[in-house]
Amino acid sequence: MRAVYYNEFGSTNVLKVGQLDIPEIKEGEVLVKIKAAAINPVDAAVREGHLKNFIPYQFPVIPGWDVAGVIEERGFGARRFAAGDEVYAYARRPMVHYGTFAEYIVLPESYLALRPKNLSFEETAGIPLVGLTAYQSLFDAGKLQQGQTVLILGASGGVGSLGIQLAKAKGAHIMGVASEKNHAYMKKLGASETINYKGVNIGEAVKNIVSAGVDLIFDCASGETLHQSLSALKPAGKLVSILNHGEHLDKNINFQYVFVEPNATELAQLCKLAEEGKLHVPVKQKYSLDNAVEAFKQIETHHTTGKVVIVP
């Protein structure tokens, strides 16, 4: 199969495109022909070696954790899907080795869910990582309920924009923090109020709108944005972050760090929401395997609204 891969950590200069063997299909696994694979900022962080002490790895590494494709073969005991079924997955295995920037991937069938029928493969590929991250942060960790107020920091980014849509589907009151140019976008997704992180104290701005404060802060930005917002958290409120591990935080804050895990049941929930028209994933740009370097350069600007997708 053709694949993007690297044999050492580093800049985009380490990326190669060439032929690699299709992985062996083991018990309970399926071979997926990849139709689209979204690229995320974490893919650049992994390539640069920032997670090498956190997640085991084996070279060559094929990057990519988001996938939409078609079941081509099934291993022994893999019977949840039939050949030809269209599926999607968050494809992070315990070992960073075989990713999604390739023509094929082998995954445990337990990672997979049927994909939303009303979305393209490219749009579908944009859901798993950001969708599961937002879902697990808001609902598994944050226990967000209908009628509660959530403050989403970095709300116009990939995870934040899915967070707005999921919180809206739950019936929560949503306050989104991002630069002013993204306020109309956040309102379109379902934010009740928008706050510019520049030139104001975020905590004060929030309490001017909801004097009692918020039930949940979902942090997709960290840094000064996070620390300013803490004064707006209710005493019994919860802080969930995908960036901060708890450093420099008051120990009395009810805090949880989230690093997304594969979850086919939650992917099925996201599929249902998408098919009900409650999840939208704008695809900003598509790249071929040969142009993967350009896809990485785009995602590394950290100013991407919408998804960047690689199409084998």
CATH of the domain at 291: 3.90.180.10
Gyration radius of the chain's alpha carbons: 19
What's residue 199's pLDDT?
Answer: 84
pLDDT in tens, 240-284: 999 999 988 999 999 999 999 999 999 999 999 999 999 999 899
Q: Is residue 249 part of a domain?
A: yes
CATH of the domain at 229: 3.40.50.720
What's residue 7's pLDDT?
Answer: 98
Q: Is residue 270 part of a domain?
A: no
Give, in degrees to the nearest 5, the angle at Cα 126 between 47 and 293.
35
Domain of residue 294, residue span: 2-127+281-310
Same structural domain for residues 48 and 93? yes
Q: Is residue 150 part of a domain?
A: yes
pLDDT in tens, 74-125: 999 999 999 999 999 999 999 999 999 999 999 999 999 999 999 999 999 9
Closest by alpha carbon to 173, among 202, 136, 135, 209?
209
Given the structure tokens 């979902």, which residue do they identify? 218
Q: Is residue 64 part of a domain?
A: yes
| Whether pLDDT at 304 is above 80 | no
**Burial readout 98-114 (b: 16 or more C-beta within 10 A, e: otherwise):** bbbbbbbbbbbbbbbbe
Same structural domain for residues 114 and 139? no
Same structural domain for residues 170 and 61? no
Q: Is residue 9 part of a domain?
A: yes
Same structural domain for residues 190 and 221? yes
Put simply, whether the predicted model's pTM sits higher than 0.75 gets the answer yes
In the chain, what are the helix, strand and coil shares in percent, each to the nearest 5? Answer: 30, 30, 40
CA atoms of 44 and 18, how far apart (whole Å) = 19
Instruction: Judge if the upstream peptide bond of residue 60 is cis by omega within 30 degrees of 0.
Output: yes
- Per-residue CA distances from 144 to 89, 135, 147, 159, 216 (Å): 24, 10, 9, 16, 7
β-pair partners for 151: 175, 217
Same structural domain for residues 148 and 203? yes
- Number of domains the chain contains: 2
Q: Is residue 264 part of a domain?
A: no
CA atoms of 176 and 154, how far apart (whole Å) = 7
User: How is 197-236 classified by DSSP, letter by letter?
Assistant: SSSS-HHHHHHHH-TT-EEEEEESS-HHHHHHHGGGEEEE
